Chain A
């Protein structure tokens, strides 16, 4: 079956702009989590969506938001971009979410803010 698909793969934005990233989970998976990965900081949890509802949220400012559609596809939006937002953004899907199910990661979107 197809894996987790993230688009776009690479993105260059200017400080102050906003950006929307997309994640299509594995078919049948209802949970989508988003992570920010930067060198030396590991994987920082942004939020998790399950059946169109945000079920959990990390410690990121309100500039970071997301949503999930009825087909489980999810989008993440970052407004008023800052240089520090440059990172690899990963989404992970799983069947039921939670901590005891295997998460399948997409290839990520590499965001560069200049």
Chain B
């Protein structure tokens, strides 16, 4: 079945370093959403990308949706300890707008 692969699974960085997580789908997505889950918490919506090649920024976070709408990335510039958590991507399947396909998440640890 269709999957959304997310890499890396884990990432340790020093505070101030950059961080990127990638999502890759085997088929075209209608849209992609990103969520963040803090340790012990629940997923919280960050952003949605819909258009081919779309780039959106939220302060130090940059989100991209690939031209073919099969991949996406989340880049954090100059990580802070508050960025710690697991970042999930979730793709909408083209032709079927009722179920999100979730990546397994990237867990980010930031050393102060």
Q: List chain A positions with a Cβ less than 8 A from chain B.
A: 40-45, 48, 55-56, 90, 92, 97-100, 102-108
Contacts and interface: CB of A to CB of B under 8 A. Distances in A.
Main secondary structure of the interface of B (DSSP, over half): strand
B42 A90 contact: yes
B30 A99 contact: yes
Given A100-B31, A100-B92, A43 B43 contact: yes
A41 B99 CA distance: 17
Contact of B50 (A44, A90, A100, A105): A100
Interface string B32-65: 0101000001111100101000000000000000
A26 to B, nearest CB: 12
Contacts of A99: 30-31, 33, 90-93, 97-100
A48 B100 CA distance: 11
B98 A98 contact: yes
